[in-house]
Structure 1
C-alpha cells in the first residue's frame, strides 16, 4: 500500500466534501478581519458557516501536515472567538487525539486520502461571532456583479460560486 504525502490543499478538498456547499459556506485562507485595523489578524486554513438560521455553526479548521507544525502551534487559541467549533485537521499519525487541547477537536484524513474521520469531537461553544470576520468575507471574498447604473449584486463567494458555469 502506498502512503500519501498530504498537502494542505488535499485536506481542504476533503473538508469541502465534508461540508458541502448546499449546506455550508466554506472560506479557505479566511482572515478574521482587516490587518490594517486589527493588531492581530489570525487566518483560518478553512472557516465554515452552516447555512442555517435555526442551528448556526461556525467551524474553524487548522490544517497540520507535519507533527512539528502541530507541536509548535501557539496561535490556535486566537481562533476561538471566531468559531463555535474548532478542529485540527491532519493526515494519519500526525496528532494523537489524547494530545488535542480540551477546547479543540480532531479530524484525520484516511490513509488513502478519500475521507475524513472525526477522532475527537470539538466542544460546541456559545460564541457571538465578531463582525470583523463577517465583514472580511463580504468585502474581500465575495464576487459582485456591478451594473452600469452603479448598483452591485451579490453573486456568491469567490471560491465556490454556484452561479458560475463550468
Structure 2
C-alpha cells in the first residue's frame, strides 16, 4: 500500500471523520481494477460504492490522468480538496465536491448517482470487504507478509 502525502492524508482524514459520522466506511488506496488506484473507496449503509479522489494541490490535480476511469467503478464520484484549492478547475459534470481539513469535511456539491450494475456492485462490495480484512490481518499479524 502506498502512502498519502502529508497534505493528502490530512484531507482524507477529514473525509473519513465526516463519513464515519454519517455511517459511511472508507478504505484508502483501493485498487478496483488493474492499473487503477483510488484514494478512498467508500461503502454507504445502503450499499452504495463511492469513490473520493483527494487533490491537495493544483499540481496534484493536473498530474492525475486516470480519474475518469474510476467512474465505472462507483455509484458516486467526489473530489476532496482543501479550502484554498481553486475549485473552478475541477470538472463538475458527474462529480461531487468535498472540502476538507484534518478534522472534518463538508460536501459542497453532491455527486449525481450513476448506479453500478448488480454484478459489478457485488464484485466491488466483496473486493472492498476482502481488502479490508486482509489489511486488518496484516496489521495484526505482520509476519504473514503480503497476502
Deviation at 1:119, TM superposition (A): 2.4
Is 1:96 aligned with 2:84?
no
TM-score, length of structure 2 as denominator length: 0.73
Gaps of 5+ in 1: 1-5, 36-40, 144-156, 160-166
Question: Residue in 2 aligned with 1:42?
Answer: 36
What number of residue pairs does the alignment pair up? Answer: 132
User: Counterparts of 1:48 and 1:120 in 2: how far apart (Å)?
Assistant: 17
Which of 129, 136, 141 matches 2:127?
136
Residues 13 and 103 of structure 2 are in contact (CA less than 8 Å); yes or no, is this contact kept in structure 1? no
Secondary structure of 1:27's aligned partner: strand
Shift of 1:7: 1.5
CA 1:15–1:31: 2 relative to 1, 3 Å: same
CA distance, structure 2, for counterparts of residue 63 and residue 114 of structure 1: 15
d(CA) in 2 for partners of 1:91 and 1:20?
19
CA distance in 2, matches of 1:57, 1:121: 14
Bigger RCO of structures 1 and 2 (CA < 8 A, at least 6 apart): 2
Paired position in structure 2 for 1:126? 115
Query: Which TM-score applies when normalising by structure 1?
Result: 0.66
d(CA) in 2 for partners of 1:78 and 1:119? 23
User: Where in structure 2 are there 5+ consecutive unaligned residues?
Assistant: 1-5, 138-147
- Richer in strand (by share): 1
